[in-house]
A and B are shown apart, each in its own frame.
Chain A
Amino acid sequence: MPGIDESLLEAMRLPGARGASVVDWISGLALGAVGDAPGGDAEATAAETAELARLATESGVLALTGGDDATGETAGDGPGGPSGKEPPVQDLIITNADSYHLLRFVTTTFDSTVFVHLWLDRSEGNLALARIRLAEMADRLVLG
């Protein structure tokens, strides 16, 4: 069963991977990080991506439109699990001229507010493949 470090090292085996981390989007803390970070500063990267992730996850307009998502208390009657545990947003994808940033929210039954951040080289990375693999990795991290 993979822990945080094993999961991040697995993500680093994807083509073009430059760095990977697990970040708490409320506190902005990196709970684990491997490889490089933009500007060489993993803490600043965690704090800034956390703010972006928080805005996305708290946004009404970016959320799943299936249910009545207008009332905070009844939102997220998803299949299984207590209401509100499923993040309203699954991934954030940011592209620039030389790299991709892929953020995948992690779902847990207990209180955690984390996502996995994968930084990929644009010329070597495969965004579609990385998105699928990162989602699988995030599930295995908490389900074993």
Chain B
Amino acid sequence: MSTPTLRTDEPASALLGTLAAQGATGALSTETGIVYLAAGHVVHVESAVTPDLGDLLTHSGALAPDGWWEAIDQAGRRCSVGRQLVDSGHLAAGALELCHLGALFDAAYFVLAHDGPALRFRPGAAHWLGAVRSVPVDTVLRESRRRRELLHRIWPEPAVDRAPLARVPGPDAADLPARRGRTLAQVNGVRTAAQIATALACRTFHTLVELRRLAAAGLVAPVAPLTSGPSSAPSPAPASAPAIVSAEPGPTPRPLAPDEPDTALLRRLLHALEAL
């Protein structure tokens, strides 16, 4: 028996705390994503700006797309895609847990760190991935706050997280750690952090950490600075300079609304519909 869908203006974090105390099961939507609960624990989180589990596994080559779709075909309807991936031998149990937790906390940061209002709660709604590993609500909330502070300590310029990013000419970019170098190679004057994360099949928060470190080192700057933030770079970047170093010319610059997260969201909708 399900209660009617809530309509609330409570902050998502406060409502999550209440739902956890009630041992609730269902899906809580905010403007930025969906948190799935089972028996008061977080079992999955989805955000339009973070790669989902399927993206992380298939784009990295850890799992062939056929294996992913086969698991969704066979187990989506009964909400146990995760178990199907392990039982069919496509993925080790530990690998699934690591990737799932990585995606869960990544999405949770973007859904919960800037605590917006909860839009609605659908009691009883389950995610088609099924139970992989559940996390207490408190842990997820605390970690999201900690991540926000971590980014702030690295470089207190939030524009890096949302605006298209360009390389700053001048500073020597050699000798970067491999991960930071791969991230820098994707900066082309057009892509945003979320698009760079998608291109690398990396978690978005982990990409933000690298990008903020690159910004702190004066190697990367937002293309259209929203405010005149602190500039440690000796040579300021021209505000609307096209890509300075880029393997491919890339598409023409678009307005701020990124399109790749939208395709990610649509793909996720498709998965969800097919799993019904």
Seen from chain A, the residues whose Cβ lies within 8 Å of a Cβ on chain B are: 1-4, 6-7, 22, 24, 26-29, 31, 57-58, 60, 70-73, 75-76, 82, 84, 88, 106, 108-114, 140-144
Contact = CB atoms under 8 A, between A and B. Distances in A.
Contacts of A2: 93-94
B185 A1 contact: no
Secondary structure at chain B's binding surface: helix, strand, loop or mixed?
helix
Interface string B85-112: 0100000111111110110010000000
B166 to A, nearest CB: 18
A143 B92 contact: yes
Nearest to B132: A3
A26 B201 CA distance: 16
B178 interface: yes
Given A58-B177, A71-B181, A111 B60 contact: yes
Contacts of A75: 178, 181
Given A4-B97, A143-B92, A110 B206 contact: no
B133 interface: yes
Interface in B147-184: 147, 150, 174-182, 184
Contacts, number: 112
Interface of B: 56-57, 60-62, 86, 92-99, 101-102, 105, 133, 143, 146-147, 150, 174-182, 184-185, 200-203, 205-206, 209
Contacts of A22: 98
A113 B98 CA distance: 10
A49 B201 CA distance: 26
Given A111-B56, A144-B92, 13 more contacts: A3-B133, A4-B97, A27-B105, A31-B97, A58-B177, A72-B180, A72-B181, A73-B178, A82-B60, A88-B178, A110-B56, A111-B200, A142-B92
A6 B209 CA distance: 31
Given A71-B181, A112-B102, A1 B201 contact: no
B92 A84 contact: no
A73 B185 CA distance: 8
B185 A114 contact: no
A106 B97 CA distance: 13
A144 B93 contact: yes
B257 to A, nearest CB: 25
Nearest to B143: A29
A76 B177 CA distance: 11
B182 A108 contact: no
B60 A142 contact: no
B150 A142 contact: no
Contacts of A26: 206, 209
B17 to A, nearest CB: 19
Contacts of B177: 57-58, 72
